[in-house]
Amino acid sequence: MEFGLSDEQKLLDQTIKKFVEKEVPLERVRELAADRQSFDATIWNGLNELGLFGIMIPEEYGGAGLRLLDAIVVQEHLGRQVVPAPFLSTAILAPVALLKGGSEEQKDTWLPKIAAGEVRVAVGVSDVVERRESSGITLKDKKLSGKSVFVIDGQNADLLLLAVGGNNLAIVDKKAAGVSINELTTVDKTRGVVEVVLDGVEAELLGKEGQAEQAISQVIDCARVALAADSLGACHVMLDKAVAYSLERKQFKRVIGSFQAVKHMCAEMAAQIEPCRALVWYAAHAYDELPDEAPLMACHAKAHVADVGQFVSVTATQVFGGMGFTDLVGLHYWFKRIGLNRQLLGGPETVRQRAAELQGWV
């Protein structure tokens, strides 16, 4: 009985931590954000050298053959360091979609390329969760038309994986005729979200037509757990930064961290963050090993960490006082990343409604 990370996972944790702390200091995040770039070749290549894009891809396709629990160890560190890297879609969501819904040929074609870091994939499934702005792609006479409004990691992607209704996933080459991409500007510049518009694009569906409903659900489950892990990492850092600042900043001839009002803010953050650790780990483990529990646990992890994240991001910012509100300390990068994660693929209320359905309460 061991609830927690294995020795291998702890090693992975240390490796990725070392990499992001060295290669992605806040200055680098700032530079990229100023250029509105959510992709950086050095960071990408570094992650690739660590073999991280194949983390969930079986060894027969050139990957590491690991699981979601391993992948979220990485994702948490990307959140900790607000790393601009399209890891979520390429390393987690696309492999899951291909493995669960793709034909043998499609797996053979794409999985080795993804594992080798040769292709960047963006995933658009938001309209399955919540349809807004008439988002949605339809299939007619083997042609795809319509738009997918919130495509994650779309800014520098080569390949697009898009939901077509609730039961098909299409593989679309970004350069194919009839594809246009409009960048969306979000508060969080570390993730490139785009709108993809298709106008009579030649359709390549994942697997057989009408069979991808389960694959889409699993992509969404994985995304929810990974987004929770990303926010959890960001929460930890916001708390650590708030505590560190409170031990430096003096007012009334004392460090502000000696005032109970400030200490209690920090204690409340810690008390809310700590149990999220077990929740996120277990949600990932459920995806890997306990399929009956996985969808519900993914919902709980996503919704709960979103709420904790909102509390922590607002509270930590207040510990910094006026400085927290400025660009100078850069706390807002974490604040915004948590904010984006909260909304992606369903805000808390939407996700909880799904949790109610999953338990037969609706």
Partner 1 sequence: MDLSYPKEYEDFRLEVRQFLKEHGDKSRNVGEEMGRPTQKLKDWQNLLIERGYACRTIPKEYGGYGAKPDILHNVIITEEFNRTQIRRGISGQGISMLVPTLLELGTEEQKQKLIKPTITGEIVWCQGYSEPNAGSDLASLQTKAHVEGDYFVINGQKIWTSSAHFSDMMFVLVRTEPDAPKHRGISYLLLSMDTPGIEVRPLVTMTGKAEFNETFFTDVKVKTDQIVGKRGEGWMVANATLKHERGMIGDPAQLDALLVKLIELMKDETVNGARLMDNPIHRDRLLKLQARVESAKLHSLRILSNSLQQSFEMLPLLIIKLNGTHLSHDINAMGIDMLGELGVLYEDSPYLRSKGTWQFRYMFSIGLIIGGGTSQIQKNIISERGLGMPREPKPQPSAANS
Residues that bind partner 1 (CB under 8 A): 1-6, 69, 239, 243, 246-247, 254-255, 257-260, 262-264, 266-268, 270-271, 274-279, 281-282, 285, 288-289, 297, 300, 303-304, 307, 349, 352-353, 355-356, 361-362
Beta strand pairing call for 159-164 and 121-124: parallel
In the complex with partner 1, the residue whose CB is nearer, 215 or 286, is: 286
Question: 205: which DSSP letter?
Answer: B
C-alpha–C-alpha distance, residues 31 and 147, integer Å: 31
Both tokens of 257, joined, read 């961290």
In the complex with partner 1, the residue whose CB is nearer, 115 or 225, is: 225
Output the smallest distance, CB 54 to partner 1, in A. Answer: 21
C-alpha angle 116-66-225 in degrees, rounded to nearest 5 = 105
Both tokens of 267, joined, read 């204690």
In the complex with partner 1, the residue whose CB is nearer, 43 or 306, is: 306
Output the smallest distance, CB 309 to partner 1, in A. Answer: 13
The Cα-based distances of 96 to 56, 62, 134, 281, 297 in angstroms read 8, 15, 26, 18, 18
In the complex with partner 1, the residue whose CB is nearer, 55 or 111, is: 55
In the complex with partner 1, the residue whose CB is nearer, 189 or 285, is: 285
Output the smallest distance, CB 2 to partner 1, in A. Answer: 5
- One-letter amino acid at 27 equals E
In the complex with partner 1, the residue whose CB is nearer, 2 or 105, is: 2
Output the smallest distance, CB 204 to partner 1, in A. Answer: 36
In the complex with partner 1, the residue whose CB is nearer, 70 or 230, is: 70
Output the smallest distance, CB 279 to partner 1, in A. Answer: 4
Output the smallest distance, CB 130 to partner 1, in A. Answer: 15
Output the smallest distance, CB 143 to partner 1, in A. Answer: 39
Are the C-beta atoms of residues 127 and 136 closer than 8 Å to each other?
yes
C-alpha–C-alpha distance, residues 199 and 182, integer Å: 14
Are the C-beta atoms of residues 331 and 241 closer than 8 Å to each other?
yes
The Cα-based distances of 13 to 69, 77, 282, 312 in angstroms read 11, 8, 17, 23
Are the C-beta atoms of residues 249 and 255 closer than 8 Å to each other?
yes
